[in-house]
């Protein structure tokens, strides 16, 4: 009697363990694919939420690449196609915290990036006439050891993303170096504390718009003046041109950005390794959740700045998936919060970036 009971208990326990493992496996798959599929899998209530057809657009999410391999030149920043009204002034603050780890060696190079970066961007826009704004941006940079290394390691382990040799090196370290095949340093940057990184000046013109203002096409010209000569050698100013658009589809919006820029880093060590130009693309989908908030998913890709290494982690196109919320508080304040992850992981794109933007219009 008792052996039979013990046998049934053993069978029951084994079945319970299989059920738990199966549930955990499904939970893990849901977490992995949920952010990629967005509201259709994890947040069905977002799809059924009642939003006014005339709800304004709050996207796209403010996001840009944080990899030092790309920031040698102009780095595209996602922004909306709207322009500031004549006589109005808009001030904007964007904070982006990036955790960066890349370690790769080959006959053509030795790459070791292990640090964190805080980008602080201050932007002012002025409406000079109907459909035209001008403005400027100061970008400040703080870099240092990876205080979030432990949290990122835990996150990647739980999600099964892999660690890319991270386990082989101590947490909380700092390194920002790229060498060519002969051991000559192409990039060797020391930590920085809230230092001015670059200055941008731009003009944006609304080329076309529907009467209700929901569908917009705009053109933007930007000049980037780098001030980080102590990091990468003397660099020249870059010029970028971009088209920005928004298409309204009921409670949905589609955002897009397509453009190109010059690449004119003039440091002797980098000159032979840099392309003359770069291109970038951003596509985003926004779902209005009401009159003051929206969910946004967007994807961006840019051509690589460096060339000749024949390695995906150095000279291939970086691409990123960005998820987040955007909205407003009252009539004057706008905000967005975002999470940016490199997809796929073996490109020069940064591992992940958390972003926060606040803006006010007078």
Confidence bin at 177 (pLDDT 50/70/90): confident
Least confident of 7-21, 103-117, 208-222, 229-243: 7-21
Calpha distance 219→211 (Å, rounded): 18
Calpha distance 106→60 (Å, rounded): 38
pLDDT of 46 reads: 43
C-alpha dist (Å) from residue 189 to 72, 216, 228, 230, 283: 12, 41, 10, 8, 32
- Please give the average per-residue pLDDT across 101-111, as a whole number: 82
The two tokens of residue 164 are 């890319």
pLDDT of 329 reads: 94
Mind listing the pLDDT tens digit for each residue in 325-338? 999 999 899 999 99
Q: Where are the domains of the chain?
A: 1-44, 49-361
Confidence bin at 15 (pLDDT 50/70/90): low
Helices (H), strands (E): how many in the chain? 6, 14
Q: In sequence order, which residues have a C-beta less than 8 Å from that of residue 269 and are 6 or more positions away?
A: 184, 185, 186, 233
Q: Is the pLDDT of residue 19 over 70?
A: no
Mind listing the pLDDT tens digit for each residue in 231-275? 454 567 899 999 999 999 988 999 999 999 998 765 556 777 888
Calpha distance 243→260 (Å, rounded): 10
pLDDT of 71 reads: 86
Sign, Cα dihedral of 90, 142, 226, 322: negative
Share of the chain above pLDDT 90, in %: 46
Angle subtended by helix axes 149-159 and 2-37, to nearest 10: 110
- Please give the average per-residue pLDDT across 179-191, as a whole number: 82
Calpha distance 273→260 (Å, rounded): 19
Least confident of 61-65, 166-170, 295-299, 313-317: 166-170
| DSSP line for 194-223 | EEEEEEEEEEEEEEEE-TTSSSEEEEEEEE
Calpha distance 318→37 (Å, rounded): 21
Calpha distance 98→112 (Å, rounded): 16
CATH fold label, 49-361? Porin (2.40.160)
pTM over 0.85: no
Mind listing the pLDDT tens digit for each residue in 197-206? 999 999 999 9
Given a contact cutoff of 8 angstroms between Cβ atoms, the answer to whether 100 and 114 are in contact is yes
Is the pLDDT higher at 41 or at 120?
A: 120
Least confident of 65-74, 142-151, 305-314: 142-151
Half-sphere exposure of 61 (CA within 13 A, CB side): 34
Angle (CA) 233-234-236 rounded to 5° is: 135
pLDDT of 324 reads: 97
The mean predicted confidence, pLDDT, of the chain is 81
Q: In sequence order, which residues have a C-beta less than 8 Å from that of residue 121 and are 6 or more positions away?
A: 77, 92, 93, 94, 95, 96, 137, 138, 139, 140
The two tokens of residue 3 are 């052996």
Least confident of 9-18, 312-321, 342-351: 9-18
Least confident of 95-109, 129-143, 160-174: 160-174
| DSSP line for 38-106 | GGGTT-HHHHHS---TTPPP--SPP-B---TTTTTS---B---S--PPTT-EEEEEEEEEEEEEEEEEE
Residue 70's closest CA among 274, 231, 286? 274
Confidence bin at 169 (pLDDT 50/70/90): low
């Amino acid at each position: 009697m008792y052996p039979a009971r013990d046998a049934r208990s053993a069978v029951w326990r084994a079945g319970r363990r299989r059920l738990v493992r199966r549930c955990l496996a499904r939970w893990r798959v849901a977490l992995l694919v949920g952010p990629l599929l967005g509201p259709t899998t994890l947040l069905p209530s977002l799809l059924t939420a009642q939003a006014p057809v005339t709800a304004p657009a709050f996207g796209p999410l403010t996001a840009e690449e944080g990899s030092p391999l790309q920031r040698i030149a102009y780095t595209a920043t996602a922004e909306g196609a709207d322009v500031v009204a004549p006589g109005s002034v808009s001030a904007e603050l964007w904070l982006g915290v990036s955790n960066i780890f890349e370690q790769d060696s080959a006959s053509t190079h030795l790459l070791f990036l292990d640090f964190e970066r805080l980008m602080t961007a201050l932007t002012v826009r002025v409406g000079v006439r109907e459909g035209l704004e001008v403005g400027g941006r100061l970008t400040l940079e703080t870099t240092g050891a990876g205080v979030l290394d432990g949290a990122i390691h835990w996150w990647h382990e739980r999600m099964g993303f892999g660690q890319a040799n991270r386990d082989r090196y101590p947490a909380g370290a700092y390194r920002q170096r790229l060498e060519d095949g002969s051991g000559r340093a192409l990039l060797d940057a020391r930590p920085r504390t809230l230092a001015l990184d670059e200055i941008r000046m731009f003009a944006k013109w609304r080329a076309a718009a529907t009467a209700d203002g929901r569908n917009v096409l705009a053109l933007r010209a930007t000049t980037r003046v780098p001030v980080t000569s102590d990091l990468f050698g003397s660099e020249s100013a870059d010029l970028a041109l971009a088209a920005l658009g928004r298409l309204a589809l009921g409670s949905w919006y589609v955002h897009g950005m397509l453009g190109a820029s010059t690449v004119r880093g003039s440091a002797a060590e980098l000159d032979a390794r840099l392309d003359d130009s770069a291109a970038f693309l951003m596509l985003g989908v926004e779902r209005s959740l009401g009159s003051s908030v929206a969910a946004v998913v967007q994807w961006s890709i840019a051509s690589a700045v460096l060339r000749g290494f024949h390695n995906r982690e150095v000279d291939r196109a970086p691409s990123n998936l960005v998820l987040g919320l955007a909205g407003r508080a009252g009539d004057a304040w706008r905000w967005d919060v975002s999470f940016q992850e490199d997809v796929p992981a073996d490109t020069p794109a940064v591992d992940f970036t958390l972003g926060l933007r606040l803006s006010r219009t007078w």
